Amino acid sequence: MVPVIKENDSATSVAQKKYPVTVIVPAYNEADCIADTVNSLLVQSFLPEEIIVIDDGSTDNTAEICRSLGVTVLTPPENTGSKAGAQNYALSHINSEFTLAIDADTTLKEDGLEKLFGAMDDPDVVAACGFVIPQKVSTLWERGRYVEYLMAFTFYKEIQEYYEKPLISSGCFSLFRTEYLQQNNGWSLRTMAEDMDLTWTAYQLGKKVRFIPSAVCYPIEPHNFHFMNKQLKRWAHGFIQNVRLHWKGIMHVPFLRSIVMVMCWDASIASIFYLTAIPILAVMVSPLFLLGYIIDLPMVLVPTLVKAYSRGETLKALCSIPAFLVLRVVNSAIFLKALFEELVLKRTLTTYEKGH
Amino acid sequence: MNIGLPGAGVGGLFYLSCTLVMPFKELFLTLTKPGHKFRYKLVATQLSIAFGIVGGLFLVYKLISGLFGLSFSPMQSVSDESAWLYSLLPIFVSFGLLVVILSLLELAAFFMKKGKRLVVKK
């Protein structure tokens, strides 16, 4: 299927043609980074029909900056309370065939939208996402996340794409068929990971989701423990909530059920082993058991360096590996805490907190 | 979005196994699906990463055993060939665990599907 292309009155070149895409950018106090995000959208090789920023009750000048850049600004009557809420607010204003959802702190490579668009040739594809690389790689947490993304998007996600079941169409940069979003009443508020919810719902409806590695985006990642903790907490609770919500449905989706199962196992059982058995064995039996923390290093190192080398960032990646090992320990501890709260204490996380 | 322990555990082994199946799946698709082209670049890249990981794990094993004089064999007096087999024991155990987890999952999926059909028939 070839999307319908609308031309500007004065435009004749391909670069000036506008594609049937509306970009929605939920924003709350994003004055520091929103200009970069909007500017990266304005220089896309495929120009969208409209760019809508949802100023979700910002107390800074986010809205003024966006208006000065010539994009549409929507202002809900009051703060919607979450990214999904802000996106849903904009959904009724969208008339185009496709919707690009992008975070306010995320910039795109010039051909990011064009590359994602290619996935929509298949009418069964309802969502497509791209490769994520942190915009800033400076602090321990940003470095850890940098390695995590290089590894996961080069190895895990490529395999998920090969088997036609990417685990998640990332919330920071995804292209959707607007009709699919409208049929599902947009982004659901029932979990803390609305992007995962939307992706798994699509599979259960027999629809497809694609991962396009050449479509690259650059989000700003949490730079300190305070914000990283908030983000990881939201992700951990979101994952558990989605498994509880969808487990019966995804049992009928081959491969997806396998990746969710091994993820559950690694995040719970392996985390318990990692955080308790290894230190206990190290103290009680031999300190050599501490080698357990680095014994799987090639699993992280090889895909990370393959991607880093192609980007000319080998040294940066190598220097960031220790940060990843720290992030991994923190991630597993936060997941176990979330598991305990959700399943034992029955305390479901319902408050959305920004990750940066 | 990664949760828990990316890298470690049976998850890594699962993705390695999936990669090793890729060339066979690709060959099957090329032979049976009209118009399907063998995706050499994708398969070669992922296989290279997988073999790189396996090679890396082997190097780590050699390095640790060399540095600390460790023998991963539970029997110190076994021959070199047997010691090599014993050194692979953790991988066999992990792989066995993965097979058990996935088999139980498939079994559960089968019975859920069967149960759903019975409900529909009623």
Q: What is the pLDDT of residues B19-60, one digit of tens each?
A: 999 999 999 999 999 988 889 999 999 999 999 999 998 888
CA distance A23 to chain B (A): 22
Whether A300 sits inside 8 A of B57 (CB atoms) is no
Q: Provide the pLDDT for residue A159.
A: 96
B23-57: b (≥16 Cβ within 10 Å) or e: beebeeeeeeeeeeeebeebbebbeebbebbbebb
pLDDT tens, position by position, B76-121 = 555 556 666 666 677 788 889 999 999 999 999 999 988 776 655 5
Measured CA to CA, the distance from residue A95 to residue A26 in angstroms comes to: 18
Distance of CA A119 to the CA centre of its chain: 18
Q: Provide the pLDDT for residue B66.
A: 81
Measured CA to CA, the distance from residue A197 to residue A200 in angstroms comes to: 5
Q: Provide the pLDDT for residue A355.
A: 60
Q: Provide the pLDDT for residue A98.
A: 97
Whether A257 sits inside 8 A of B105 (CB atoms) is yes
Q: Provide the pLDDT for residue A261.
A: 95
Q: Which residues of B touch A (CB under 8 A)?
A: 1-12, 14-15, 18-19, 22, 42, 45-46, 48-49, 52-53, 55-57, 59-60, 64, 68, 70, 98, 101-102, 105, 108-109, 112-113, 116
Q: In the structure encoding, which two tokens stand for residue A77, read together?
A: 């009557």
Q: Provide the pLDDT for residue A55.
A: 96
Q: Provide the pLDDT for residue A5.
A: 46
Q: In the structure encoding, which two tokens stand for residue B53, read together?
A: 């990981």
Count of A-B CB contacts under 8 Å: 145
Per-residue pLDDT of chain A in tens (356 residues, 90 and over written 9):
444 444 444 444 444 678 899 999 999 999 999 999 999 999 999 999 999 999 999 999 999 999 999 999 999 999 998 899 999 999 999 999 999 999 999 999 999 999 999 999 999 999 999 999 999 999 999 999 999 999 999 999 999 999 999 999 999 999 999 999 999 999 999 999 999 999 999 999 999 999 999 999 999 999 999 999 999 999 999 999 999 999 999 999 999 999 999 999 999 998 998 899 999 999 999 888 888 888 889 999 999 999 999 999 999 999 999 999 999 999 999 999 999 999 999 998 888 776 66
- What radius of gyration do chain A's Cα atoms show? 21
Measured CA to CA, the distance from residue A69 to residue A294 in angstroms comes to: 48
Whether A306 sits inside 8 A of B70 (CB atoms) is no
Q: Provide the pLDDT for residue B78.
A: 52
Among candidate residues A162, A30, A174, A50, the one with its CA nearest the CA of residue A112: A174
Measured CA to CA, the distance from residue A241 to residue A235 in angstroms comes to: 10
Distances (CA, A) of A21 to A6, A46, A52, A81: 10, 9, 11, 26
Q: What is the pTM of this model?
A: 0.90
Give the type of residue at A260. V
Helix, strand, or coil (residue A1): coil
Among candidate residues A144, A189, A137, A161, the one with its CA nearest the CA of residue A332: A144
Handedness of CA A310, A312, A313, A315 (dihedral sign): positive
| Helix H or strand E segment including B4 | none
Q: Which residue of A has its CA nearest to B56?
A: A298
Among A160, A231, A302, A306, the strongest candidate for a mutation testing the B interface, having the largest count of B CBs within 10 A, is: A302
Measured CA to CA, the distance from residue B61 to residue A297 in angstroms comes to: 11
Q: Provide the pLDDT for residue A292.
A: 83
